[in-house]
Amino acid sequence: MTDLGDGTRCVHAGLPEPAPGDPFLPGPVFAAPYHLDPWQGQGSSPNGYGRPDNPTRRLLEAAIGELEGGDCRVFATGQAAITGLLLAVLRPGDTVLLPADGYFPVRAFATDVLETIGVRVVFVPTAGPYPSLEGVRLVLVETPANPGLDVVDVAALAESAHAAGALLAVDNTTATPLGQRPLDLGADLVVASGTKALTGHSDLLLGYLASRSADLVGAVTSWRTATGSVPGAFDSWLAHRSMATLDLRLARQSANAAAIADLLAGRTDVTGLRWPGLPDDPAYPVASTQMRRMPGVLSFDLGDADRVARFITAARLVAAATSFGGTHTSADRRAQWGDDTSPGFVRLSCGVEDTADLVADIAAALDAAGPA
């Protein structure tokens, strides 16, 4: 369906062939064991046991795979997907490059687990500069980075990685497959949290990995089967159902982020504004070329923790929450989670509220919050 528009692809991705009397998207199949043939066992049936086999999960994987342009495997959470990738690919003695400004739990996992099993971990800022990649097994980047929103040139980095014999994996959580398709840019793997904008309703946990390499998909599939880090049937069904509106949600979220960025850029009581869609943002030159649409997430600094709390309390349309990408606008003071950010740093995730309402509410809340 690559010849169709984003909205059309989202609505139809992963749906089975229509049959009279059947729903557009079949309901979730709840099964641990399935009936087996008494003589042949599982035989030619794709279903034997619920951990590796579930038809609801396969439909979701087909849908995400169509959007990302690769073979997909879904996991219970985004963290399960990314740690599964790292443990399936890396061995003692390998070197991995991870983003110094990326998702904090991934960095913690690297130092708490990977280093203890003999993997050499090197942290590099998303925007670089990158060291020599000779002897590196895997480069993992998050672009735009969470929460700082820096961007890296995926095609250029893929070329450098492959020249050195390294694999490149891209965390596509913030952008989503409608914002960019890393596999088309040369990446070997895509990994993401489907908890956030992909499903977008703040009501389920999900992760996924996609690749065009049968060997890499096979290794990750074996890891997932052995560890059991699969999503449940109902979460898989909810995720697939929610993806139909992805194009519509992202369009409003991106438009809201652009309007809020313009508002904040004109205020003297806000510093450190980052959004890749702003022409004067450091990430803009790469993002405007590489990305198909800008994310609905931006970041800025309000000076200190108390002012952040006053701002969120005064806002009628902004909720305090730590995830992002949902239909409701939310703000997260990242320092409270141990992230390496200043006390007043805020990641704002724009929801799908009317743009004029959201701009007015945030402006009034900043006024009510007073100075830092």
Q: Which residues of the chain have pLDDT under 70?
A: 1
Q: Does 247-369 carry CATH code 3.90.1150.10?
A: yes
Would you say domain 6-243 falls under CATH 3.40.640.10?
yes
Measure the CA–CA gap between 103 and 142, rounded to whole angstroms: 8
> Do residues 349 and 296 make contact, with C-beta atoms less than 8 angstroms apart?
yes
Would you list the domain boundaries of the chain? 6-243, 247-369
The residues assigned a catalytic role are 51, 103, 171, 196
Q: Which pLDDT score is estimated for 338?
A: 83
* Burial readout 306-344 (b: 16 or more C-beta within 10 A, e: otherwise): ebbebbbebbebbeeeeebbbbebbbbbbbeeebebbbb
Residues, the chain? 372
Whether the bond between 147 and the residue before it is cis, its omega within 30 degrees of 0, is yes
User: What is the arrangement of strands in the sheet containing 167-171, beginning at the earlier edge strand?
Assistant: 71-75, 207-211, 189-193, 167-171, 138-142, 95-99, 120-124
pLDDT in tens, 222-254: 999 999 999 999 999 999 999 999 999 999 999
Residue 127, token pair as written in the block = 């925007």
Q: What is the pTM of this model?
A: 0.96
